[in-house]
Structure 1
Amino acid sequence: MAHSDRPNPETITLENGNLAATPDQVIAAIEALNFEQETKVHEPLFTVEQSKKVTFDKPGAKTKNLFLRNKKGRMVLLVVEQDCMIELKELRDKLELTGGHLSFASTERLGQYLGVVPGSVSPLALINDHSNSVQVFIEKALIEQGWIYMHPCRNTHTTRMRCDDLLTLLESWDHPAGIIEF
């Protein structure tokens, strides 16, 4: 599957002019807080269906990550279990968001605020949102699984870490997660 329409993740420039974080920088940020993590390098994964083919030896939730925006430019990162079906109108109402309907954010906006390309979205990309423009919501059922698998800013890597540690990491990046139940 060719993805020549995607920018090179190594050259993405954030809204503040800095280059986006690399997997090594994300892992270093996790380890700086003494959180346990394991990272596996693999072929690029662009879809949930492709990621289902990659197996891991240890338990943990696999995710679907949706980067959304409304007409007023409010941005939301929704993190749910990989098979969860989402109706955007119902989600907007559930989150009590004002400012119009939710739709998928553009590739340009994804790079500017999260520093990633499509297929690499995860809560770990919030390391790049220095202006705190993106609000994150995580499905309660994921948190209850104890461990979670996510891309550390590249879809060629998957990192496993404790869900509680992820929540603490996001708080340290000024992105406290809202917990949502479906």
Structure 2
Amino acid sequence: MTGAPNPKTKAELFAFLETLGIAVQTHEHPPLYTVADSQALRGTIPGGHTKNLFLKDKKDSFFLVTVDEDADVDLKQIHHLIGAASRVSFGKPEALMELLGVAPGAVTVFGLINDTSGRVRVVLDSTLMENAVINAHPLTNEATTSIAAADLLQFVKATGHDPVILKVTG
């Protein structure tokens, strides 16, 4: 596998959002690799903050599961909920770069802009989607972008994906 031929940049993501009429607010910060890093450094950015799981099953179907940062996800059972063919494991960094155009530590729902072949199934946790505002990395872990929940759904659909909203957390 090779990397995404030309993964989109943060600027290209923002230009795409602008063409959709979606307003976002972005906060720059040092690189964040974990939820703990994020909680310590982000300050008081309001809204739901995301944790993203890039998963695959034995048939090489890929899933991006986006949940609230504090959510507990049962990786031994989630395959039943998301329609995977088998138990899931984390997708390899090469597949992550090829499909979503991001590196580990920067996994984000905004990476769907790079999945032009529609290989990744998107699952948004229903609890996360109860927030009026959702926060996610804009293709880099050096910033956090705030987007209205309804606008996030509009973005996902505009990338050619059909978002599934499910309760995947305990």
User: Per the shorter chain, which TM-score range?
Assistant: over 0.9
TM-score using structure 2 length: 0.93
Match of 1:146 among 132, 144, 149: 132
Amino acid in structure 2 at the alignment position of 1:13: G
Counterparts of 2:59 and 2:66, CA distance in 1: 21
Structure 1 residues without counterparts, runs of 5 or longer: 1-11
Residue aligning to 1:20: 7
2:67 counterpart of 1:80:
yes
SS class of match (1:24): helix
**Contact residue 150 and residue 158 of structure 1 kept, 8 A:** yes
2:50 counterpart of 1:63:
yes
- Name whichever of 70-79 and 87-96 sits farther off: 87-96
Counterparts of 1:134 and 1:89, CA distance in 2: 20
Counterparts of 1:96 and 1:69, CA distance in 2: 11
**Cα displacement (A) at 1:63:** 0.8
**Cα displacement (A) at 1:176:** 1.8
2:21 counterpart of 1:34:
yes
Structure 2 residues without counterparts, runs of 5 or longer: none
Counterparts of 1:32 and 1:111, CA distance in 2: 25
Amino acid in structure 1 at the alignment position of 2:57: N
**Contact residue 69 and residue 104 of structure 1 kept, 8 A:** yes
Residue aligning to 1:118: 104
**Contact residue 29 and residue 42 of structure 2 kept, 8 A:** no
Amino acid in structure 1 at the alignment position of 2:108: S
- Name whichever of 124-133 and 85-94 sits farther off: 85-94
Q: State, as a whole percentage, how many aligned pairs show the same letter.
A: 34
Counterparts of 1:47 and 1:55, CA distance in 2: 12
**Contact residue 23 and residue 157 of structure 1 kept, 8 A:** no
Counterparts of 2:110 and 2:125, CA distance in 1: 15
Amino acid in structure 2 at the alignment position of 1:160: S
Counterparts of 1:74 and 1:89, CA distance in 2: 16
Residue aligning to 1:4: none
SS class of match (2:76): helix
SS class of match (1:53): helix
Residue aligning to 1:3: none
TM-score using structure 1 length: 0.88
Amino acid in structure 1 at the alignment position of 2:16: A
Describe how 1:33-52 pairs up with structure 2 within 5 A. Answer: 33-52=20-39
